[in-house]
Amino acid sequence: MSAMTRLSPLDPDYSTPWRPATRVRVSQRGSAVTVDLSADAFANTNLGSELAATAIQQLVYTASAAAYQRGTPATTVTITKDGKAADVWGVVRIGTPVRRAPLLDVQARAWVTSPQYGEVRKAGVVRFTGYGTSFEATFAWAVRTKAGVLVAHGSAMGGTGTGGFGALSFTARLGPGTYTVTLSTDDPSGGAGAGPATDDKTFTVR
């Protein structure tokens, strides 16, 4: 929990609404986890209600995942501020048990999970992995040079195609250089809607 508030995302495309907490206390009773944070964790003053709700879910997902890894699965997470229920960020009340929201409500539809931003890979066949959900379980991917030249592209299958999230993978043969890989969901609206969800990572091949 401390790392969640203190560490900056590796990818500059991402940001975190949390501020470093000087104190984090985690306890668990049965399937209920309580995470008590010092007031400085909530010092960010630029949160609206939607981002605040997402931040709460970020902590709920993180705490429940940690409990699962310890072999003590949790179904609810209660967040407190200096040991008490409180109104935080001016828009949300904490102090009562919260369950994980459905993935479709809080997760991006497309994630490049490997390589991570700034990672170095060996020249040759580079394997990519991703995660998400897309119409008919079909994702498009493309790899471009630092100058924006397309050097590889294709499609990959992942998820259920009906809202279920899942993993996917694909490969490309690359020589030395700096590249950006982009993963996109299928857009059944043909451009009439919000468009595809995308994620990208810049990495180096040596």
Do 87 and 114 fall within a single domain?
no
The number of folded domains in the chain is 2
Query: Which H helix or E strand runs over 29?
Result: strand 24-29
Mean pLDDT, rounded, for 167-179: 98
- Only one residue has tokens 């975190």, namely 16
Scanning the chain, the segments in alpha helix (DSSP H) are: 2-6, 49-69, 103-106
Do 112 and 175 fall within a single domain?
yes
Looking at 38, 73, 101, which one is the last position of a domain? 101
Interval 3-27: pLDDT, tens:
899 998 889 999 999 999 999 999 9
Percent of the residues in the chain that have a pLDDT greater than 90, as a whole number: 89
- Residue 189 is part of which domain span? 106-205
The pTM score is 0.87
Do 189 and 120 fall within a single domain?
yes
